[in-house]
Amino acid sequence: MRSDASYAAVLTAMNLYTVNADGYAFSMESITVETDNVTTVSRTLLEDHIEVSGYVTDVDDNPIEGVNVSIGNEEHMFTGDDGYYEFTLPGTVGHIDYTLTAKADGYQTEYERLSLEEGDRVTKNLTLEETGSVINGTITDPTGDPVPHAFVSVADEEVTTDAAGNYEITVTSGDYTLEVIADGFKDATESVSVGPGENATVDLTLENADGTVVGTVTDTDGEPIEDATVTVADEEPSTDADGTFEVDLPVDYDFTVYTVTVSADGYETVSKDVTIAPEKTTAVPVELTPADPSEIDFGVTIPDDFEVDDLCNEVDDLEAEHPLSERC
């Protein structure tokens, strides 16, 4: 072979010729030549190794970092933040089968069979599917007892808690809002993030739902009393023109007993104990009795040294100066 990589050979009419060069793949080709003619044959030699490369991504085409990619029994590497891998394998004569494997925590292992020969340059991109992430936990009431049959939902997945208040939901990795709904309790939400193949535990204590007290305040003739003051715990609503009132109150557990006190000008104050339950409405009719006039406070303060005779003398003097006939 000449320095410019050209060559010349004298051949018979049909020949099988080969080309060998250090560091390049073996090449062989059959040619037919005519007697006393010159036949030109060009041949491109490939380097004698094999190259396999590609990217590893998830189902949304996002690159996955840290994937353990291996080929054959010995060669392996970890992908970078771009998900790229690359192998250089020794050349072989003829085809040889390789198994390309990609493994990563939280993903299903991917296998690819490759039939390779000397000089091959192969690009093989791999897509990994998540094995599924888990969100679990326990739902309890304010006393710490489990809440069974609560509805727990994350995205489009929904389960109910068991008798011990436990739940478990399998999702793909991501950021979620967990929602809990249970009879007799206020709805609850909690933010949660979970990575591929990870477990996230979210325990929630539910607050009891409010109960409602309604009522009508009337006098002894059944007529409504407007602007009566109703006092229950820290709430103090007033009755409307129909004598009605309504107030929402927290419930400690299955029920709570409250004292409802109703007062109005000119009437005796009345107090009643009322039992309310979560998400229930309890009606409380209240009838007020007119107060004893002797007990009504007219806003007049009488001094301790006041003498009735002094008042009578003042009235007599006023009458003498200004007779009643003149004032009427």
Q: Which residue did the predictor score with more confidence, 36 or 5?
A: 36
Cβ–Cβ under 8 Å, residues 167 and 199:
no
pLDDT surpassing 80 at residue 180? yes
Q: Is residue 227 part of a domain?
A: yes
Q: Which residues make Cβ contacts (< 8 Å) with residue 93, sequence separation at least 6? A: 26, 118
Which amino acid is it at 267?
Y
Neighbours of 266 (CB within 10 A): 11
Grade residue 39 by pLDDT with cuts at 50, 70 and 90.
low
Query: Are 150 and 200 found together in one domain?
Result: yes
| Mean pLDDT along residues 170-181 | 94
Comparing C-alpha atoms, which of 118, 105, 139, 6 is closest to residue 51? 118
State how far Cα 118 lies from the chain centre: 53
CATH for 84: 2.60.40.1120
Query: Are 227 and 170 found together in one domain?
Result: no
pLDDT surpassing 70 at residue 282? yes
Cβ–Cβ under 8 Å, residues 72 and 107:
no
pLDDT surpassing 50 at residue 108? yes
Q: Is residue 325 part of a domain?
A: no
pLDDT 10s digits, 65-98: 999 999 987 688 999 999 999 998 876 666 788 9
| Mean pLDDT along residues 198-220 | 94
pLDDT of residue 104: 92
Task: Pick the last residue of a domain from 59, 94, 127.
Answer: 127
Query: Are 56 and 24 found together in one domain?
Result: no
Query: Are 187 and 121 found together in one domain?
Result: no
Task: Pick the last residue of a domain from 127, 156, 177.
Answer: 127
* Overall pTM > 0.75: no
Cβ–Cβ under 8 Å, residues 313 and 306:
no
pLDDT of residue 179: 97
pLDDT of residue 316: 63
Q: How far is CA 146 from CA 163, 177, 254, 255, in A?
A: 7, 21, 14, 17
pLDDT of residue 190: 97
Query: Are 61 and 17 found together in one domain?
Result: no
Q: Is residue 118 part of a domain?
A: yes
| Pairing between β-strand 96-103 and β-strand 14-19 as defined by DSSP bridges | unpaired
| Torsions phi, psi for 317 (to 5 deg) | -65, -40
pLDDT of residue 44: 61
Q: Is residue 241 part of a domain?
A: yes
pLDDT surpassing 50 at residue 314? yes
Query: Are 220 and 192 found together in one domain?
Result: no
pLDDT surpassing 50 at residue 2? no
Q: Is residue 315 part of a domain?
A: no
Structure letter (DSSP) for residue 284: -
Q: Is residue 327 part of a domain?
A: no
Q: Which residue did the predictor score with more confidence, 263 or 29?
A: 263
Query: Are 244 and 268 found together in one domain?
Result: yes
Query: Are 99 and 173 found together in one domain?
Result: no
Cβ–Cβ under 8 Å, residues 260 and 230:
yes
Tell me how far apart the terminal alpha carbons of the chain are, to the nearest angstrom.
149
Q: Is residue 328 part of a domain?
A: no
Q: How far is CA 263 from CA 1, 123, 219, 228, in A?
A: 119, 86, 12, 6
Q: Is residue 143 part of a domain?
A: yes
Strongest mean pLDDT among 129-133, 264-268, 305-309: 264-268
Query: Are 55 and 123 found together in one domain?
Result: yes
Return the ∠ at Cα 166 (arms to 164 and 170), rounded to 5°: 160
Task: Pick the last residue of a domain from 171, 205, 239.
Answer: 205
Q: Which domain holds residue 146?
A: 133-205
pLDDT surpassing 70 at residue 307? no
